[in-house]
Amino acid sequence: MSYQVLARKYRPQKFSDVIGQEHVTRTLQNAIAQERIAHGYIFSGHRGIGKTTVARILAMAVNCRSAQRPVAEPCGVCDSCTEIRAGNAVDVIEIDAATNRGIDEIRELREAARYRPARDRFKIYILDEAHQITDAAFNALLKTLEEPPGHVIFMMATTQPEDIPQTIRSRCQHFSFRAVKFEDIMGQLRDIVSKEKIPADEDALALLAEAGDGSMRDALSILDQAIASTSEHLTLDSVRSLIGSAPAAALETIMQAVAESCSEKILVLVDELIGEGHSPTHFARQLVRFLRNVTVAKIAGKDSALLQISSDERARVARIAELFTEEDLARHLQIMLRTHGELGYRQEQRFHLELGLLKMAHAQRLLPIEQLLSEVAASGPARPAPRPVLTPALASPLSRSQALPTEARRAEPPASARSNSVSPFAADSARKGTPKAESSGDATAFAGEGARATPSAGGSSANVVIMGSAAPAVEELSPAPDPIASGATGVSPVQSGGDARRAIAEAEPAGARSEVSAQARQEANAESLRDAVLRALGNQPMLLSLLENAEWRREGNVLIAKVAASSTMIEMSFTADVRRIAGAAASSLAGRPIKMLVEPDGAPQAMPAARRSSSNGSASNGSARSRAEQDPIVQRMQEKFGAEIRTVIDYREKG
């Protein structure tokens, strides 16, 4: 008698013999016991896990002659069971769908399905690799599969169920087979080597089970080959040399060199492996599996059920997991996955393997972006000089005539320590309108991009925060004396561009102070709000130029600025984001919600003398050019940018 391979010799003949598919076998046995046998089944899953085997066992169960009806477990000795097991049963037709995939073959199957079985209860069609049947052939089978004769059962086995049309899948019961677990494959291999009376080491069987990759048939095929190569005793080295895998110690040494960032050691190890005949592609695949196991051991521990490896391999991956962080392992796994994918179509596989390993070594020197941002914020980088903002004088005539010299301006204090620094993430959140408080002890208010908190009229100090991509540090301004309550001299808490504090001194008679106290305080408050808004909008020069020459006043919780521009110009410049930034800056300074409004004052803005004379000379004719020259927006553009009017189109004349 000819030799029979182990995969066929030890093929399960009963539902109880099937390994790792209890959810499928239990359902089928219950369906048979309850006489709820369907007319169509789809068995899908990984290769070599028992799809066709279960289809044959189900065929034997429904046609077993040991009872008058289908049985949950076939006897295996009756004529029907024996013929089905041997593959020569008349009423059980196995079709290779990869070869018989056309519409003509399906048409013949449909014609033959009309006739009753010759001897058994059911005529059963087992279609292996059913996903390779063409769409036209599936369409031809559709009606028969939907309403088949009562004596016909269709069973389709496939590794790609998504390629089967949905119209076919909806008419069948779909069973998804799982990959066989590592422990189940190990137990089956032990039973087989004991029955074959072949001594084998546990490490050798573990390597065979790992090489099977969840497929029982693959593991048995490799075992058959290992027995033929070494009939006396199966050892780890013999199996490893047979399947061409690199030693596990080599993988551990490679990762230790990566942890040390030793590029020379990595290149020497790769050279030794290539010299021993190992394939770069196979080694990269091994390293990917090893890194995956190390990552799982780092996250879930070495005793996790997610690790389908032997005990020695668990200890090895646990040692490597201690050398890396979870982020490093994820980065290394991604590098090796990309390297393994590139080796499949590259010419110089060794060079690409070495390049991937060197990338892993260099990746050890990378720092997390969070750490870099924290260090930048802690170091307090030099802040670029902001745009200076002109500060108009107070309403009092004395305040316009008297001012402190430049030497009296107080310079900004240096950046504070790390505990008072502003996180870039909090600054970005504040810029987007969602303030987020830092975890430090000081409560820092974020008032929008470019906004700086200044002391209130009461003299209390506040933290100064400048928002932006630079993420500068927090600084504090010392309280300034109240210009009214201090007596003869006062200092207005107004900063020019955030670089210095502009102090304006007033000398008022003692009798007049009581009369102008309320009015001066209100105007000073409006001016402070104005300066805060101008600083917040310092990165928008066009809008800043309009607001610098505006007339500012405060009415309760509303800050109003009248500008020399039309309503259209204001609507285009003062957008919702600008209103939010300006309102946040004013609210932060005032300590209460402030609404910002910009209104047109209706007065035309002055033009340069040269342009005024030219416009007056041409205004008398009432032409379109003269009307354009007199437009406030055009005049503003001419004054700021030196614009010239070249073409004027009067649509009223065209109409």
CATH at 166: 3.40.50.300
Claim to verify: residue 273 and residue 157 sit in the same structural domain? no
Q: Which of 244, 328, 322 is nearest to 286 (CA)?
A: 244
Write out pLDDT tens, residues 67-105. Answer: 889 999 999 899 999 999 988 899 999 999 888 888 888
Claim to verify: residue 356 and residue 437 sit in the same structural domain? no
Asked whether residue 373 is domain-assigned, the answer is: no
Claim to verify: residue 250 and residue 314 sit in the same structural domain? yes
Is the backbone of residue 214 left (phi > 0), alpha (psi -120 to 50) or beta?
left
Claim to verify: residue 52 and residue 161 sit in the same structural domain? yes
Claim to verify: residue 553 and residue 623 sit in the same structural domain? no
pLDDT at 633: 84
pLDDT at 413: 41
pLDDT at 415: 41
Claim to verify: residue 354 and residue 426 sit in the same structural domain? no
The band of 619, judged by pLDDT with boundaries at 50, 70 and 90, is very low
Claim to verify: residue 430 and residue 509 sit in the same structural domain? yes
d(CA 281, CA 274): 11
Q: Look at the block and give the residue holding tokens 């997610």.
A: 306
Q: Look at the block and give the residue holding tokens 């079709």.
A: 95
Claim to verify: residue 74 and residue 141 sit in the same structural domain? yes
Q: Where are the alpha helices (DSSP H) in 261-410?
A: 263-275, 280-300, 311-321, 326-343, 349-363, 369-379, 397-401
Q: Taking the mean position of all CA atoms in its chain, how far away is CA 489?
A: 60
Asked whether residue 307 is domain-assigned, the answer is: yes
Asked whether residue 234 is domain-assigned, the answer is: no
| Residue range 249-267: mean pLDDT, rounded | 92
Q: Where are the alpha helices (DSSP H) in 173-215?
A: 182-195, 202-212
Instruction: Kindly tell me if the per-residue pLDDT of 566 is higher than 90.
Output: no
Instruction: Kindly tell me if the per-residue pLDDT of 581 is higher than 80.
Output: yes
Strands 152-158 and 173-176: unpaired
Distances (CA, A) of 616 to 611, 630, 642: 9, 9, 18
Asked whether residue 390 is domain-assigned, the answer is: no
Contacts of 404 (CB under 8 A, 6+ apart): 491, 503, 504, 505
Answer with the one of 120, 151, 178 that is the final residue of a domain.
178
Claim to verify: residue 617 and residue 501 sit in the same structural domain? no
Claim to verify: residue 355 and residue 439 sit in the same structural domain? no
d(CA 145, CA 155): 11
Q: Where are the alpha helices (DSSP H) in 79-154?
A: 79-86, 103-112, 135-146
Claim to verify: residue 595 and residue 622 sit in the same structural domain? no
Q: Look at the block and give the residue holding tokens 């290769």.
A: 47
Asked whether residue 204 is domain-assigned, the answer is: no
pLDDT at 268: 93
Claim to verify: residue 16 and residue 163 sit in the same structural domain? yes
Could you tell me the pTM of the whole model? 0.54
When divided into structural domains, the chain yields a total of 4
The band of 466, judged by pLDDT with boundaries at 50, 70 and 90, is very low
pLDDT at 622: 57
**Per mean pLDDT, which of 147-156, 504-513, 560-569 is the most reliable?**
147-156
Asked whether residue 225 is domain-assigned, the answer is: no
pLDDT at 429: 57
Secondary structure class of 94 (helix, strand, coil): strand
Q: What are phi and psi of 23, to 5 degrees?
A: -65, -30
Asked whether residue 191 is domain-assigned, the answer is: no
The band of 423, judged by pLDDT with boundaries at 50, 70 and 90, is low
More confident position, 63 or 540: 63
Asked whether residue 375 is domain-assigned, the answer is: no
pLDDT at 545: 78
Domain boundaries, position 251 = 244-366
